[in-house]
Amino acid sequence: MTTAAHPTRHQLPPAARKAKRRSAALGLLAWAAGISFCLPALWMLLTSFHSEADAATNPPSLAASLTLDGYREFFGGGGGPTPWPPLINSLSASVFSTVLVLVLALPAAYALSIRRVRKWTDVMFFFLSTKMLPVVAGLLPVYLFAKNTGMLDNVWLLVLLYTSMNLPIAVWMMQSFLSDVPVSIIEAAQVDGARLPTVLARVVAPVAGPGIAATALICFIFSWNELLFARVLTGVVAQTAPVYLTGFVTSQGLFLAQLCAASVVVSLPVLAAGYAAQDKLVQGLSLGAVK
């Protein structure tokens, strides 16, 4: 009699029980969607630990023994070329361009959010509009310029281009993160006699710091992923990891396990950075418009 008034855990009213079952079903559905979306990536991971013979079976062998041969081969264990030069090129192009982006974007974002220059929205939209300019449209002149100045196959050229590619995104993201810093606190600090470096270190950095770090990670990801510029503007010396990956297949025939190992290794830095910046990722990619 009293169960309807005081439902216990085991005696929920029918409607609530139905809602609970439905919610459990939807949770399972979400899990199924998550696993099936991740499946190709998990398959790549599994294949990378198989021997070449086990990797190329049909139907697939799930019970095949695991080995590090694919990775050993990829890192030149079999006497083949080592991937270190392209990996180091990618790392330097990405890190140096990220640093340069921060150096250029931080003051700009500071002016746009805290100082609020006049017509600041116009400036913001100028930055955004450069991002809408497809890269292919400027590729040929850049190539000709590089060829005539001897800068082809040079990592520093990639650093410059990746900086221009990421600068608009960084300005937009950081503008939105710096806008989170209450101007009244900054003014109060200034009234108390704090100078700009102190204000930046004590007031701005703690609030905007995590966002700035996420911005840096996203710029790193974009530079690391880039293929078209690297493909056209580099050759042997400055080849980056994505270019190495595309050439890797044709030059050595197809070794599936080794290719999967290579893809895993090249993707690892991005996966790590992406998982770390997960929450801020969407804001960065939607140019700060979604909070």
- Residues numbered 157-186 forming contacts with other proteins, rule: CB under 8 A: 160-161, 163-164, 167-168, 171, 176, 179
Cα–Cα separations (whole angstroms), residue 76 to 71, 72, 90:
9, 7, 18
Q: Which residue type does 114 have?
A: I
Among 13, 16, 41, 77, binds other proteins (CB under 8 A): 41
DSSP state of 49: T
**Cα–Cα distance, 224 to 266 (Å, whole number):** 9
Which 126-145 positions form the footprint of other proteins (CB under 8 A)? Answer: 126-145
Q: Convert residues 251-290 into a mask of x (bound to other proteins by CB under 8 A) and - (unbound).
A: ---x-x--xx--xx-xx--xx--xx--x--xxx-xxx-xx
Q: How far is the CB of 243 from other proteins (least distance, A)?
A: 8
User: Given candidates 33, 66, 188, 205, which one binds other proteins under the rule CB under 8 A?
Assistant: 33
CB of 205 to other proteins, least distance (A): 17
- N- to C-terminal Cα separation, the chain: 49
- Closest to 112 measured CA to CA, from 160, 166, 165, 173: 173
Taking CB under 8 A as the binding criterion, the range among 7-15, 23-31, 74-82, 199-207 that sits at the site for other proteins is 23-31
Determine if 201 is a binding residue for other proteins (CB under 8 A): no
Cβ nearer to other proteins, comparing 3 with 43: 43
Sign of the dihedral defined by the CA atoms of residues 229, 231, 237, 242, in that order: positive
Residues from 44 through 103 that contact other proteins (CB under 8 A): 44, 47, 55-60, 103
* SS3 sequence of 195-235: CHHHHHHHHHHHHHHHHHHHHHHHHHHHHHHCCHHHHHHCC
**Based on CB atoms, which residue is closest to other proteins, 3 or 53?**
53
Residue 210 touching other proteins (CB under 8 A): no
Token pair in block for residue 232: 């056209």
Smallest distance from the beta carbon of 141 to other proteins, in angstroms? 4
Which lies closer to other proteins via its Cβ, residue 237 or residue 268? Answer: 268
Q: Is 241 in the site for other proteins (CB under 8 A)?
A: yes
Residue 256, burial from CB neighbour count under 10 angstroms (0-12, 13-18, 19+): middle
What is the total count of residues that contact other proteins (CB under 8 A)? 101
